[in-house]
Structure 1
Amino acid sequence: MARESKSGWSRPWAAFFALIIILGGVAISLGFGVRLRGALERNAESRMATASTSVQTAVTNELGRYADAVRLSAAAMAALPAPTAAAFDKIAEAVDEQDLTAVRALTFVAPDSPGLTASWRSRGATGFTPRTATGLQEHFYTVFAHTLGEEKTAPAIGVDQGSAQAVVDAARLATGHVAISDAYVRLADAAIPKAQQQLSFDVLAPVAGYGWVSMTVGAADFVSANLTKAAGDLLDAQVMTRSSAGALAEVATVARGDGSGFRRTQNFTAGERQWVLRTSATYKSLLPNAGRTDMVVVIAGSTLAVMFGTLMYLQMSATARAEREIAAEVGERLRKVDAESEQGRLRGALAAQEALLSGLIAHPGEETTEVDLRAVVAEVVASGLATAEVTVGDLPQVRADGAILHHLLDTMLADALSRTPPETSPTIAISAGTSADGLVRLVVESAGTVIGCTLPSATVEVPAGS
């Protein structure tokens, strides 16, 4: 090997070893650059997965709130001798107080039948005139309507909802439970230019023998609100569902980016329907500094090969820091999901139900009388709860409409029985307590779930004509 005695290695060999060091440093730098980019992309995908799961949870919880509100509204209407406009308005006002996302209106829809006009006008549907659409096999008319949320105009009374095939299909499905329609253009929006039209979907529950309670939800507002609540401006989202024909149908799309970058598809079930959530995020939003980071690593490694160890340390520490950030973000998302868990939704539903039941008892619309609460409870228990173990405490005399009280007790006990876990012997406890202001709170408890309503005590004087 050629070597100069005084000057060390010869120039060619010095250049050779210098080239080896430079090429080795460049190779190592490029390798670490690639690894760093991979770690950043994995971190971005993890953030994407966490945010997408949060969006799915928010959508599922909100659909559950819709279903609970509509189901309870239908149960309250079914508890009456016959649906009336006054009772419907009280129920709709209670639903409006629940601050549901993107809701537009609560309506009562009835099928075509003999004497339809006179029958519903006698129940308070003032001015009801069926506007029958031609060429339809089935007709469904709006008889009561109440605006919800920020909607300014109530749906027109008498409109034939049979023109919206999505509503017809959902009404056929909602024979014993809550159903959600396909997204469709409301009749009131049909005159708006197509580019400005917004899709809606309905949540329906049956009222046996009379029709359906229907809640209309603005699809785009629904997706946008839940997306913003769960992921801020990080994601774009498209929500789809299986239509009655079996094909995927779009509910709404919120697109703020250019469509490029990370993508994720999730399938889930909510409201008796199959849903598809497609989320996306741009590289810029998830990896805002990735390009500059790669360049810094490559340049630093290429020009300062001796800092190889330091670069390793920085990369590993960056990876550990990223993992801690992911763990913290996942924990925060899970805490938010916990705050909107099934127990929270159940408590909200039971509170809404008690408000509805108490409201109907407090304003029955007829002269109230003194009623033996224990006798009514015994009659209801004997008529439908033979398979359950029922414990009844001391029950006072109350003032109420006997028929309505019987219907409400039947509804409360059936609801309590339905909450008994499978393969568990149903046990129901019925009790009541009287407050200082003379009100009696009737409580039905089953499997840890408490269902209640408030009634006037028989000792409370009711003014004449009230």
Structure 2
Amino acid sequence: MPLPVVRRPRRPGRTGGVVPACVLLVAGLAVSFLMAVTLAGAQGRQADERMDRHLEAVRAAVAGEAYRRAETLGHLAASVGVQEDLTAQDFEALTFRLAFRGMPGITDVGYVVSVPDARVQAVQRAWRRKGAANLSLRPVGTAEHRFVVLDRSLETASPALGSDLMAAREPSEALDAARAGGQVTASRAYVLLRDRMLPAARQQTSFLLVAPVYGAGDAPDAGLLRGWLAMGVRGGDFIDGTLRQVSQGRVNVTLSDVSVPGGERPMATVRAGEPLADARLHRETTMDVAGRTWRLQVDPTTGLASAAENRLHLVVLAGGAVISLLLAGLVLVLSTSRDRALAQVEQATAALKADIAERRRVEARLRERETELERFAAVAAHDLKSPLTVIAGYSELVEDHLADGAGEQVSGWLQRIRGGTGRMQRLIDDLLAYAGAGDASLEPAEVDLERLVADIVMDRTAHLRHDRPHIEIGRLPVVTADPARLRQVMDNLIGNAVKYVRHGTVAQIDISAERDGPMWRITVADHGIGIAPDQRDAVFAAFGRARGSEGYPGTGLGLAICRRIVDQHGGEIRAEENSGGGTRFVFTLPVVPGITGRDALTEDGTGGAGGGPGGGSDGGADGGPLYSAPGPDRR
């Protein structure tokens, strides 16, 4: 016979695991680098898109707010032109709502007229008569003057009233441009005349919006220039109020006047946060505002992207490198330990197979021992019955022979001998029944359960003269079972219900059956001493007895025999609490199709149209119990 070939696992070379680990490490680092580069590019594109959106939002906000002020000034100029004889009271009424428009940066709105140097005093007196009582014209130079004769200040004081706008080149150029163009015009950036008296730290670069005022309606000067409306706007307040919400702390904004080539002048800056040093994200654009060109410069702050987002590609790169190192190390470890693991698995498998074989041998020995014990119990019980029968027979002969001649003491001894032999015979019978319940084959047949129960009840109660139990028997079906074994089950259950009652009380027993799908559910309920919940399974074990049953005769094998028999029939048996006190024993038997008669019960346990044998109704017209054993009051 050839020897079996033992295959040993091939031992890998010293570099067998290094090469795959290095390849995996290089591939992992390459993939991590590509992911980091891709992510950085995506973040850059997102930042560009954000800056483009912020630039557009800033431009729209600045242009929109500048247009609102120019439009408001144009409407006021048209309203002033309608007045045939404008007074200070009329001007106050027309400009009253200006303070409630929510337009930050506006300092005041003034009505400006052109006055020759020779008519300065006459014009001053004329406007004082029209309500400007505090008007004091302050001419500059000896040429033509342009005085603010009416003024609505949005601040506490009105230093612009009476000032000559010819004192500065920027407002003078704006007045000329407005007269030439016939529309609202913005001045170049400069410091307002009214602000030049403030400390340098409080001065702001501002601009003036100017709208020409023409006579309208049926006035003699209809269509002719009467003067101008001038609106002062501080650049810093204008930009801050316009862009504080728009910037959202993510961009810094600078507004400059670039109307004059080479003469750029910053107007205002909104600093929303720390600048982000990234020239690639710088954005700028120009816009036309009332005839002037403004430039917006938008730069990102550190708030544009969180620190985590800025470093995310580095985190991905570092994380990928760490994961690659770990995977490479894992591959190296696995490649060198695979053979050891396989050997351990083979050893464990062999040990498991040996353990399984040993367990099977032990189980086979246990089954043999159990069979031997059951056979021994059956043989011993059978062999013991003969001597016990002899003892019982001779005890009866001695008692009959002595008759009245025996003394009271001898009679007591004979009764004890007969009682002991009777208990021994019952124990032997139970042992034989218990041993036979597990081995003997079943001989199924149709069993009239109703008649079987009636016979058992008769046998159990016929000899009683006092305290006869009250037994209620409901409609019971015809079942297919081993008649002798089924009789043992019912006899044990009914016998226990009759026996285990409180002293001085009469047993009350209810026997019923109902259809439960493919099974018959048969119930024997009593009102006896009951079984504790924690012992309702233990009472079905061999020699198992419940607490409280010590004072009652019994071997502890009756319920064990019942369980074996019910299990052989394919059913189940259990003990439950009875709602009226005591215990309900419920066992099931399979329903065999094709059986007719009283087995045709409905699923609620009631009978069909036919009654018992012969078509009658044994339970009476009201469908009551088929059998009622008389109690103490029905003897």
SS in 2 for 1:222: helix
The answer (yes or no) to whether the contact 2:61–2:242 under 8 Å persists in 1 is yes
Match of 1:219?
235
Task: Decide which of 42, 64, 75 is 2:78's aligned counterpart.
Answer: 75
Match of 1:183?
189
- 1:8-87 counterparts in 2 under 5 A? 8-11=12-15, 14-87=17-90
- How far residue 274 of structure 1 moved from its aligned partner, in angstroms, is 2.2
- 1:366-405 counterparts in 2 under 5 A? none
SS in 2 for 1:214: strand
The answer (yes or no) to whether the contact 2:247–2:272 under 8 Å persists in 1 is no
Task: Decide which of 285, 289, 306 is 2:308's aligned counterpart.
Answer: 289
Task: Decide which of 139, 142, 153 is 1:132's aligned counterpart.
Answer: 139
Letter in 2 for 1:211: G
For the structure 1 residues 240 and 138, does the alpha-carbon distance in structure 2 shift closer, same or farther, using more than 3 Å as the test?
farther
Letter in 2 for 1:279: V
For the structure 1 residues 155 and 232, does the alpha-carbon distance in structure 2 shift closer, same or farther, using more than 3 Å as the test?
farther
Match of 1:234?
250
SS in 1 for 2:210: strand
- How far residue 203 of structure 1 moved from its aligned partner, in angstroms, is 1.1
- How far residue 195 of structure 1 moved from its aligned partner, in angstroms, is 3.3
For the structure 1 residues 242 and 131, does the alpha-carbon distance in structure 2 shift closer, same or farther, using more than 3 Å as the test?
same
Q: Distance in 1 between matches of 2:260 and 2:18?
A: 75
Alpha-carbon displacement from aligned partner over 1:68-111 (angstroms, at most 9, x marks no partner): 11111111111111322111111110333322232221111222
Task: Decide which of 167, 179, 187 is 1:163's aligned counterpart.
Answer: 167
For the structure 1 residues 274 and 307, does the alpha-carbon distance in structure 2 shift closer, same or farther, using more than 3 Å as the test?
farther
- How far residue 217 of structure 1 moved from its aligned partner, in angstroms, is 1.4
SS in 2 for 1:302: helix
For the structure 1 residues 258 and 234, does the alpha-carbon distance in structure 2 shift closer, same or farther, using more than 3 Å as the test?
closer
Q: Distance in 2 between matches of 1:293 and 1:23?
A: 22
- How far residue 168 of structure 1 moved from its aligned partner, in angstroms, is 0.9
- How far residue 306 of structure 1 moved from its aligned partner, in angstroms, is 9.8
Spell out structure 1 runs of 4+ moving beyond 6 A: none
Note if 1:116 corresponds to 2:123.
yes
- How far residue 287 of structure 1 moved from its aligned partner, in angstroms, is 4.2
Task: Decide which of 236, 244, 267 is 2:286's aligned counterpart.
Answer: 267
* Bigger proportion of residues as strand: 1
The answer (yes or no) to whether the contact 1:62–1:101 under 8 Å persists in 2 is no
For the structure 1 residues 140 and 267, does the alpha-carbon distance in structure 2 shift closer, same or farther, using more than 3 Å as the test?
same
Alpha-carbon displacement from aligned partner over 1:364-419 (angstroms, at most 9, x marks no partner): xxxxxxxxxxxxxxxxxxxxxxxxxxxxxxxxxxxxxxxxxxxxxxxxxxxxxxxx
Match of 2:295?
276
The answer (yes or no) to whether the contact 1:182–1:251 under 8 Å persists in 2 is no
The answer (yes or no) to whether the contact 2:211–2:228 under 8 Å persists in 1 is yes
The answer (yes or no) to whether the contact 1:106–1:213 under 8 Å persists in 2 is yes
For the structure 1 residues 283 and 234, does the alpha-carbon distance in structure 2 shift closer, same or farther, using more than 3 Å as the test?
closer
TM-score (norm 1): 0.60
The answer (yes or no) to whether the contact 1:106–1:214 under 8 Å persists in 2 is yes
The answer (yes or no) to whether the contact 1:301–1:307 under 8 Å persists in 2 is no
The answer (yes or no) to whether the contact 2:192–2:232 under 8 Å persists in 1 is no
Structure showing greater Rg: 2
Amino-acid identity (%) = 27
Note if 1:95 corresponds to 2:114.
no
SS in 2 for 1:210: strand
Q: Distance in 2 between matches of 1:291 and 1:51?
A: 19
Letter in 2 for 1:224: D
For the structure 1 residues 204 and 283, does the alpha-carbon distance in structure 2 shift closer, same or farther, using more than 3 Å as the test?
same
Q: Distance in 2 between matches of 1:56 and 1:307?
A: 52
- How far residue 212 of structure 1 moved from its aligned partner, in angstroms, is 0.8
Q: Distance in 2 between matches of 1:287 and 1:6?
A: 55
For the structure 1 residues 199 and 137, does the alpha-carbon distance in structure 2 shift closer, same or farther, using more than 3 Å as the test?
farther
Alpha-carbon displacement from aligned partner over 1:101-145 (angstroms, at most 9, x marks no partner): 3222111122222233233223222132221224x8553211111
Mean alpha-carbon deviation: is it higher for 75-84 or for 19-28?
A: 19-28
Match of 2:320?
301
Letter in 1 for 2:230: S
Q: Distance in 2 between matches of 1:112 and 1:271?
A: 26
Q: Distance in 1 between matches of 2:76 and 2:123?
A: 22
- 1:247-266 counterparts in 2 under 5 A? 247-259=263-275, 260-261=277-278, 262-266=281-285
Task: Decide which of 186, 192, 197 is 2:198's aligned counterpart.
Answer: 192
Q: Distance in 2 between matches of 1:97 and 1:291?
A: 44
The answer (yes or no) to whether the contact 1:41–1:287 under 8 Å persists in 2 is no
SS in 2 for 1:127: coil
TM-score (norm 2): 0.44
Letter in 1 for 2:166: G
Q: Tell me, which stretches of 5 or more residues in structure 1 are unaligned?
A: 309-466
Alpha-carbon displacement from aligned partner over 1:146-192 (angstroms, at most 9, x marks no partner): 122xx222234211222222111111111110001122112232233
Q: Distance in 2 between matches of 1:127 and 1:203?
A: 25
Q: Distance in 1 between matches of 2:139 and 2:80?
A: 25
Alpha-carbon displacement from aligned partner over 1:246-286 (angstroms, at most 9, x marks no partner): 63322211124344333111222232332211111124532
For the structure 1 residues 132 and 244, does the alpha-carbon distance in structure 2 shift closer, same or farther, using more than 3 Å as the test?
farther
For the structure 1 residues 137 and 19, does the alpha-carbon distance in structure 2 shift closer, same or farther, using more than 3 Å as the test?
farther
Q: Distance in 2 between matches of 1:27 and 1:132?
A: 79
Match of 1:343?
none
The answer (yes or no) to whether the contact 1:227–1:235 under 8 Å persists in 2 is no
Q: Distance in 2 between matches of 1:60 and 1:185?
A: 21
- How many residues in Structure 1 have an aligned counterpart in Structure 2? 300
Q: Distance in 2 between matches of 1:47 and 1:178?
A: 34
Q: Distance in 2 between matches of 1:61 and 1:15?
A: 68
Match of 1:352?
none
Letter in 2 for 1:139: H
Q: Distance in 1 between matches of 2:19 and 2:201?
A: 68
For the structure 1 residues 232 and 110, does the alpha-carbon distance in structure 2 shift closer, same or farther, using more than 3 Å as the test?
same
The answer (yes or no) to whether the contact 1:243–1:249 under 8 Å persists in 2 is no
SS in 1 for 2:282: strand
Letter in 2 for 1:275: W
